[in-house]
Structure 1
Amino acid sequence: MGEIFSPGKLMLTSEYFAIDGALVLAVPTKLGQEFFFDEKNDQKSLIFWKAYHQNKLWLEAVIDYKEWQILDTNIPISAEFIVKTLKNVQQLSNSKLAGTDSYYLKTNLQFPSDFGLGSSSTLMNNLSEWAGINAFQLNTMSLGGSGYDIAVAKEKSAVLYQNKPEIHYKKVTFNPVFKDELIFIHLNQKQDSREAINLYKSKVKSDELIEEFSNLTKEILLCNKLDNFSRLMEIHEQKISHFLNMPTVKDRLFEDCPFFVKSLGAWGGDFVMSAKFRGFKDYFRGKGFNTIFDWDNIINS
């Protein structure tokens, strides 16, 4: 049985504006998604799909890939998404799902599904590595989105990513000298990215504003002092707040926090980033947010 692994991701800059070509800085997480695969020459043309969440079975499906019929499953709506995605794999691949072999495919998501670290992007990349196809193409056909998360999963590294005028990204080292001062707090809910993106898309944006976020990303990448990093993060939050006409997460939940609080990805859920201060664990836990990571606990740098 073969095995592939793709890391999850956290988007540090240019949320929303990534869709329109703003430069993104994103980092890989230690946890991601495993993919195990086996093939049998049994002339049956079946896919036996098993998806685990943190080693607990979540989804089972038996799929006839000649007729693209779900023969058996415990969660029909999720099995239908797997069928749609595997159809796209078949269309893009020269070899997989082309004959009469049966495939035994198993996934294991290592992080809780409400963490928003990239359950879909890690799946798209794992399937693409397995099938020898373009992960960005598969992602566009199956899900959409800016594609920065695919770049992180593919490179297994921090990346600078831009999707316009065409997809362009490069591996970077983002290991700031003050990383031990940074913390990541989960907001106890997963944000619906599509709903948030629809709000963003409904608003008119300028090339100048997109360029401002690209420039902020470049400055943030080069930061070597926490106070400068904090200032840039606050500027970033205020610009998006003004554009979306939404309060920042700090204004909404952490008004008395002595440091910046930066949303990571779609606003309203998933993770935020801040910095350590005296009593920071008691502060966040006192507000009901108990899941707090240090840099080295969550980021694979």
Structure 2
Amino acid sequence: MKKEFYSNGKLLITGEYVVLDGAKSLALPTKFGQNLIIEEAQNDLIHWTSFDADGSIWFEDTIPFSSIIRKERFDDAKNIKNTLIEILSEAYKLNSDFITKSRGYTIKTELTFPKFWGLGTSSTLINNISQWLQIDAFTLLRNSFGGSGYDIACAQNNSAILYQLINEKPKIENIVFKPNFTENIYFVYLNKKQNSKLAIASYYNKQPKVFKIIEKINAFTNTIIKTESVKEFAEALKKHEIEMSLVLELQTVQEILFHDFIGVVKSLGAWGGDFVMVVSKENPTEYFNEKGFEIVIPYCEMIL
């Protein structure tokens, strides 16, 4: 019998990095996500195929049940396979039935966004596997990839959320976030995917400075979700970016790449890659295209 599951992609609008230390963060699920399709098979193994948004195969391999049980690791050339085995092995510890009560599977994943966009290839997979096996997705994330879990919350919710870690446990509040100036908001892809694990590791080196700014970040988040003024919205984003720049000891993306842009550019998630959010009076597509950034997506086409 075929089983199908779906999870939403994500964008973290405020609180990047400091969400790990308890900052209140605004996160938005996207209209893009990932499907997981499972069928029974034989031979005590999983035949796994992952499809990109254009229908091309970006990963295909077979994984014996024994590799999952032992958490077998292959050489670095099989890095995707190793990651998948790690996730499935941790899932096995939480619910072994999918191995002990089955003879095998044919599994497909289908992204509805290009893999390189960084909208949550891993988080949507972890949430889909958790739905399939009826285990807690936040636990599976913590035991495998790590991270704050805001991406799992987006995978599970169809509206904007305020996300906060309190005593290392997620607090999720669904909110209505429909500013009357969404036509002024765009998302621009920076032509490279950022490694979240490496970015988080680098952030932890700066951690002594963090607690001084959490209250400021929380205040910016509160302004951003409540204001009906595009000017106040943009100003809060700009101040947020400056505070994070001081903590991370990095220039803002606007200073580095878009210093002549009339409007505000804010990093989302790990700095230096993936998408940025842009607030502009006019459609900024031509400006970014001329600088070599061809993927410019209006708010209404990106956000669920």
TM normalised by structure 2 equals 0.92
CA RMSD after TM alignment: 1.8
Does residue 230 of the first structure (1) align with residue 234 of the second (2)?
yes
- State the number of aligned residues: 295
1:62 paired residue number: 62
Distance 1:159 1:188 in 2: 27
What is the CA deviation profile of residues 233-271 of structure 1, one whole-angstrom value per residue up to 9, with x for unaligned ones? 000000011111211111111111111111111111111
Counterpart of 1:151 (choices 153, 156, 160) is: 153
Equivalent residue of 2:131, what SS? Answer: helix
1:45 paired residue number: 44
Counterpart of 2:123 (choices 121, 124, 131) is: 121
Letter in 1 for 2:27: A
| Residue 206 of structure 1, CA deviation | 4.5
Distance 2:4 2:108 in 1: 9
Equivalent residue of 2:178, what SS? Answer: coil
Distance 2:162 2:128 in 1: 21
Gaps of 5+ in 2: none
Letter in 2 for 1:233: L
Are the counterparts in 1 of residues 126 and 141 from structure 2 also a CA contact under 8 Å? yes
| Residue 278 of structure 1, CA deviation | 4.0
1:246 paired residue number: 250
1:160-179 mapped onto 2 (5 Å cutoff): 160-165=162-167, 166-179=169-182
Gaps of 5+ in 1: none
Distance 2:210 2:121 in 1: 32
Identity of aligned residues (%): 37
What is the CA deviation profile of residues 85-113 of structure 1, one whole-angstrom value per residue up to 9, with x for unaligned ones? 11111111153222242112110112112
1:292 paired residue number: 296
1:9 paired residue number: 10
Are the counterparts in 2 of residues 15 and 264 from structure 1 also a CA contact under 8 Å? yes
1:193 paired residue number: 196
Letter in 2 for 1:82: L
Equivalent residue of 1:96, what SS? Answer: helix
TM normalised by structure 1 equals 0.93
| Residue 200 of structure 1, CA deviation | 1.3
Distance 1:109 1:206 in 2: 35
Distance 1:191 1:102 in 2: 34
Are the counterparts in 2 of residues 45 and 99 from structure 1 also a CA contact under 8 Å? no
What is the CA deviation profile of residues 48-80 of structure 1, one whole-angstrom value per residue up to 9, with x for unaligned ones? 11111122112112222135488x9xx722112
Distance 1:62 1:206 in 2: 44
Distance 1:284 1:59 in 2: 32
- Residues 202 and 36 (structure 1), Cα distance of their counterparts in 2 relative to 1, 3 Å cut: same
Distance 1:241 1:94 in 2: 45
Equivalent residue of 1:184, what SS? Answer: strand
Deviates more, 1:245-254 or 1:161-170: 161-170
Distance 1:190 1:281 in 2: 20
- Runs (4 or more) in structure 1 with deviation over 4 Å come to none
| Residue 183 of structure 1, CA deviation | 0.8
